[in-house]
Amino acid sequence: MKSIAMFNNKGGVGKTTLVCNLASYLAHNYGKKVLVIDADPQCNTSVNVLPEKEFENFYYKKKGFTIFEILKPIQRGIGYIENVEFYNIPHFKFDFLIGDPRLSLMEDLLSNDWKDATSGDPRGLRTTLVFSDLLLKCEEYDFVFFDMGPSLGSLNRSILLACDYFITPMSLDIFSLLALENIGATLDTWRNRFNVGINNSIDPDALQGLNANFSIKFLGYVTQQYTAKKSQGTRRPVRAFEEILMKVPETIEKEIISKVNQNNCLNIKDYNLGTIPNLHSLLPLSQSAHKPIFSLNYQDGVVGAHFAKVDEFKDTIQGIAKHLLENTEVLV
């Protein structure tokens, strides 16, 4: 099982669109068993994939299991949850752990226990490793994806600590480049402080069975939301976006790879997983139909030139999926 976080501390970069479609494509076209976890308190992934009736049951009638249930036992000081419930999403062909806005209420708990964790306190370490325990219950899956909010807070820290890899979706603006500096420096600091806590642990047996290594690696990036034009039959970003696009590889190398991947320890040849142009009207059609973009058809409102756009996106997400599999060395 490979666990992958969609992470960027800058918002509005298309994390939800990417994770829903990439996870679905791996399930549809590569036969992978995939789980998606909505760990963003804004719950955009849940809004995107859940049919209206199910959405009403979970959020208005308060019926059903959400990610908040994972943290309840920790909040009460009674350990980890024993049983986790996942919801199958037929159109997307993956299993799903429903998001919950109440996740934001757990930031203080995780933050306070992080201080104890870095001192070697067993309770602090076990609280911090709550998502490591969750992943132990997901071994039947080929891939587990986390959709995350745009922050460097304690919730995201616990998720990143548990995952094998992270992917960074980026919009082509100067703020995305600046965000890369935050990511690399912060992950390096978190890893060092966590390792101090592990080395100073007063009860190593308390962590038995858990992945107590802050060993997450950078898997690659996806650039999104640029304005494109055709030049000699090839779609290219307009000049303003292209200038920023040219700075991305160098910034990734300097701020992420050298700090997180220890100078390309994964032997990845290309961290650029792919590029997604502005999807315009396809995105609301996908959200309304609660279907991945690559499977939209005339019943979902696709007409005229939309069909060519759907095919174009299908080629794009296929390329991203292929690069992801290559970078994780998964045989297809």
Domain membership of residue 204 (yes or no) is yes
CA neighbor of 40 nearest in space, from 48, 32, 31, 52: 48
Would you tell me how many other CB atoms lie within 10 Å of the CB of residue 281? Answer: 13
Query: Is 105 part of any domain?
Result: yes
Specify if 242 maps to a domain: yes
User: Has residue 332 been placed in a domain?
Assistant: no
pLDDT tens-place string over residues 271-308: 999 988 778 789 899 989 999 999 999 898 888 888 99
Say how many domains are in the chain: 1
Per-residue model confidence (pLDDT) at position 265: 66
What is the residue range of 206's domain? 2-327
Q: Say which CATH number the domain at 221 has.
A: 3.40.50.300
Task: Decide: pTM greater than 0.85.
Answer: yes
Has residue 252 been placed in a domain? yes
pLDDT reported for residue 315:
95
Ranges of the chain whose pLDDT falls below 70: 225-241, 263-265, 331-332
Say if 58 falls within a structural domain.
yes
- The reported pLDDT for the residue numbered 166 is 96
